[in-house]
Structure 1
C-alpha cells in the first residue's frame, strides 16, 4: 500500500482555501476506510447539485477512478471455472469496486416514499432499509438544513452508522448529527458545490490508494 495522504496533500496544495479542513478530511477518510475494511458500505444522499455529487461519488468508487483496479486472482479463476472463455473475458474487463449506494437514484422507491409516506423521508426510509451498524452515510447539503438529508442523518445515527456531512461554512442543522463535518468556507450554493467536488475527489482517491495500491 502506498500513502493515501498524498492525495490530501495534493488537494491542499491546489486549494489553499480548504486548508482548514485538513484534519476533518483525514478523519472522514479514516472513518470510511475503517468501514470498508470491515466489510461495510457507504450510502450517499443530497438534493439538486448535491444529488449529482452523490451520483458522482458512487461512480468514482464503484469502478476504477485513478487506477484500473484489476480483479484479484481468485475471482478471475472462479469466473473462468464458471464461464469458461466468456468468464475469462469478463474477468479481463471487470474492475474491483468499493460498495457505495447513491440514494438519489432509486426512482421507484423514492416516488413511492413521497407519495405514500412523506417527501422528507425519501432518504431516511432508504437508510432505514439499507443501513447497518458500521456503515457510513455521506450527507451532502450546501446549507446543512435540507430536511430530507437531516432526517437521513438522524436515522443513520439511530442505526449505528457514522455520518460525514458535506456543507457550507455554517454547517446547518445536520452538523448536530455528524461524526465529521466538512464545512467548506463558503455560503453561496454554487461556491459550496464547487468546493465539495475537489474534497470528495480527494477522498475517493485516498480510498482507492488504500485498497487498490497497484
Structure 2
C-alpha cells in the first residue's frame, strides 16, 4: 500500500498527462522496482544517448538529493556525525540531504577515449555496468527508439550480472524493451515528442520514489 501523498501525486500526474495513462502499470511497476532495490541497499545505474543522456543525469540528480521533500538525515546518522566531529558534524548532518544511490553512466571521458581508441565505443555503458553493477541493483536504459546498441549492450550486461532492468523507450519499444524486466513505452514517433514524455516520466519516478522513501 503506497502513501496517500504518493497516490495523490500519481493521480495528479496522470490527470495532467492523459497520453501516458496506458503506460501507468509499467511506470508504477518501475517505481516499485526502484523502491525495492533502494530498501535492500542497492543502487540505480542510468544510461542513454544525447537527450536521453541528459535525462539519465536528471533522474540521478533527483534521487541523490532532495527533489521536492526536505530529506532530513535519521537521528542515528545525526548522532554519528555529532559524536565524531562535534559542532562541525552537527552542521554537516543538518545540511546534508538523504540520498538514494544513483549513478548516471555519462561522465567517464577517460574510459570513453580508451574504448574509442580500441574501436569498442559501443561498450561504453556495458563496461561501466560490469564495473558497478551487483545482483539486486537496477539499470534504467533510456532510448527513444529502443535500438541504441550501447544501451542494449548495457542491459544485457546488467541482466547477466543479476541486476534488474527498466527500459524507457518509444515507438514499438525496440530491442531494449524485450531485454528489460519492466518496459515503459511512451506514445509518439518523433524523437522530440518521445523525449518530452520521457522527461515527464522521469519526473514522476523521482516524485514517487522520494515520497515513498522519505518523510516530509
User: Which band: TM-score by shorter chain?
Assistant: over 0.9
d(CA) in 2 for partners of 1:117 and 1:161? 27
TM-score (norm 1): 0.96
Q: 1:198 aligns with which of 190, 194, 200?
A: 200
State the Cα distance separating 1:200 from its structure 2 match: 1.2
**Which stretch of the first structure deviates more once superposed, 200-209 or 1-10?**
1-10
d(CA) in 2 for partners of 1:198 and 1:48? 17
d(CA) in 1 for partners of 2:115 and 2:79? 42
Q: 1:22 aligns with which of 21, 24, 27?
A: 24
d(CA) in 2 for partners of 1:101 and 1:117? 25
Alignment of 1:160 onto 2:177: no
State the Cα distance separating 1:139 from its structure 2 match: 0.2
Q: 1:170 aligns with which of 149, 169, 172?
A: 172
Deviation digits for residues 12-53 of structure 1 (CA, Å, limit 9, x no counterpart): 100011110111011111111111111110000000000000
Q: Partner of 1:43 in structure 2?
A: 45
Deviation digits for residues 120-169 of structure 1 (CA, Å, limit 9, x no counterpart): 00000010111011110100001111000000011111011111111112
- Would the aligned equivalents of 1:113 and 1:125 in 2 still touch at CA under 8 Å? no
- Gapped regions of structure 2 (runs ≥ 5): none
TM-score (norm 2): 0.95
Other structure's SS at 1:98 match: coil
Structure 1: which 4+ aligned runs deviate by more than 4 Å?
none
Q: CA RMSD in A?
A: 1.3
